[in-house]
């Protein structure tokens, strides 16, 4: 009899917890039409919004990753970390295959921020690194009331890490040169590293030229065609999904706090 009561109590508690989660998710906002920016607090400049949306469209096409910005007026009596986790799951940020999404959640009235990281990017954006981005790139501007600049700098810093991980170039300077910032600390602190980086790029270009010469000279371009054909059918993500979540899950990692 006693075991039965304990069992029933566990079931009841589980049902209540699941009900609370469902109710909490239902009270959360729906994603915006462009998906990548939900600015309920109206703190982000339109030009910055356009830059973030267009950059995300390129990012998603190349990797399936998504970096979403959300500002809210009310946390619905939830802890901001819990709110971010639930919102992340509701919107399905990042690809379902790689769980490579990021959510930057801002509550200006509460002066709180949380950056939620998907499972697939936890190694790229560990809590300590996200905390440094928060302290060095976001909070200094938030404290001055310059939310748009703080969001922009945090967004760009996160993209730097993602670009490095996937070995891609999103060509953000072509989207909007005035909103593109290079925060690579190693490049800024070491001129030798920058020279090394340039030499590496030159060697890569020379290697590609040699490869193309050999391929078209001896194989009639068969190797190049095979590589391009494989990239066409196996790389990238569906353009139709640019402006909605890819079904990714949150890893529970990240950083935040009050400014």
Domain locations in the chain as residue ranges? 32-183, 190-234
- Which of the four pLDDT bands, split at 50, 70 and 90, describes residue 232? very low
**The pLDDT of residue 26:** 56
- Which of the four pLDDT bands, split at 50, 70 and 90, describes residue 201? low
Q: What is the rounded average pLDDT of the residues 85-98?
A: 96
pLDDT at residue 170 greater than cutoff 60:
yes
Q: Compute the distance between CA of residue 256 and CA of residue 259 in angstroms, rounded to an integer.
A: 9
Percentage of the residues of the chain whose pLDDT score is greater than 70: 75
**The pLDDT of residue 6:** 52
**The pLDDT of residue 241:** 60
- Which of the four pLDDT bands, split at 50, 70 and 90, describes residue 130? very high
- Which of 39-43, 154-158, 239-243 shows the lowest per-residue confidence on average (mean pLDDT)? 239-243
**The pLDDT of residue 17:** 43
Sign of the CA dihedral 30, 33, 36, 40? negative
Q: Which of 134 and 225 is assigned the larger pLDDT? A: 134
What phi-psi label fits residue 92: left (phi over 0), alpha (psi between -120 and 50 degrees) or beta? left
pLDDT tens digits for range 44-85: 999 999 999 999 999 999 999 999 999 999 998 899 999 999
- Which of the four pLDDT bands, split at 50, 70 and 90, describes residue 208? confident
Cα angle 173-53-101, degrees, rounded to a multiple of 5: 105
- As a 3-state breakdown, the chain gives helix, strand, coil percent values, each rounded to 5, of 60, 15, 30
**The pLDDT of residue 103:** 98
- Which of the four pLDDT bands, split at 50, 70 and 90, describes residue 200? low
> pTM of this prediction?
0.72
Q: What is the rounded average pLDDT of the residues 163-176?
A: 94
pLDDT at residue 21 greater than cutoff 50:
no
CATH of 32-183, one of 3.20.20.60, 3.90.100.10, 3.40.1160.10, 3.10.310.50: 3.10.310.50
Average pLDDT along the chain: 82
Q: Compute the distance between CA of residue 105 and CA of residue 85 in angstroms, rounded to an integer.
A: 10
**The pLDDT of residue 212:** 84
* β-sheet bridge partners, residue 250: 118
Return all residues near 199 (Cβ < 8 A) that are at least 6 apart. Answer: none
pLDDT at residue 247 greater than cutoff 80:
yes
* C-alpha closest to that of 161 among 183, 142, 177: 183
**The pLDDT of residue 8:** 44
**The pLDDT of residue 54:** 97
pLDDT at residue 193 greater than cutoff 60:
no
pLDDT at residue 248 greater than cutoff 80:
yes
């Amino acid at each position: 009899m006693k075991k039965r009561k304990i069992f029933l109590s566990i079931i009841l508690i589980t049902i209540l917890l699941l009900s609370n989660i469902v109710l909490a998710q239902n009270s959360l906002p729906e994603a915006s039409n462009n998906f990548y920016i939900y600015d309920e607090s109206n703190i982000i400049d339109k030009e910055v919004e356009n830059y973030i949306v267009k950059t995300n469209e390129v990012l998603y096409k190349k990797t399936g990753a998504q970096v979403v910005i959300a500002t809210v007026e009310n946390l619905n009596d939830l802890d901001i970390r819990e709110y971010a986790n639930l919102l992340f799951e509701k919107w399905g940020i990042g690809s379902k295959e790689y769980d490579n999404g990021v959510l930057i959640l801002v509550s200006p009235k509460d002066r709180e921020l949380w950056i939620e990281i998907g499972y697939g990017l936890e190694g790229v954006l560990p809590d300590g690194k996200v905390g440094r981005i928060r302290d060095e790139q976001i909070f200094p501007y938030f404290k001055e009331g310059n939310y748009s600049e703080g969001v922009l700098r945090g967004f760009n810093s996160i993209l730097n890490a993602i670009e490095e991980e996937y070995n891609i170039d999103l060509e953000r300077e072509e989207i909007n040169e005035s909103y593109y910032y290079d925060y690579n600390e190693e490049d800024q602190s070491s001129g030798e590293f920058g020279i090394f980086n340039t030499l590496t790029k030159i060697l890569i270009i020379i290697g590609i030229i040699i490869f193309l010469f050999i391929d078209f000279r001896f194989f009639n371009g068969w190797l190049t065609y095979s590589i391009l054909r494989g990239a066409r059918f196996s790389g990238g993500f569906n353009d139709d999904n640019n402006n909605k979540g890819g079904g990714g899950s949150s890893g529970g990692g990240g950083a935040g706090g009050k400014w």
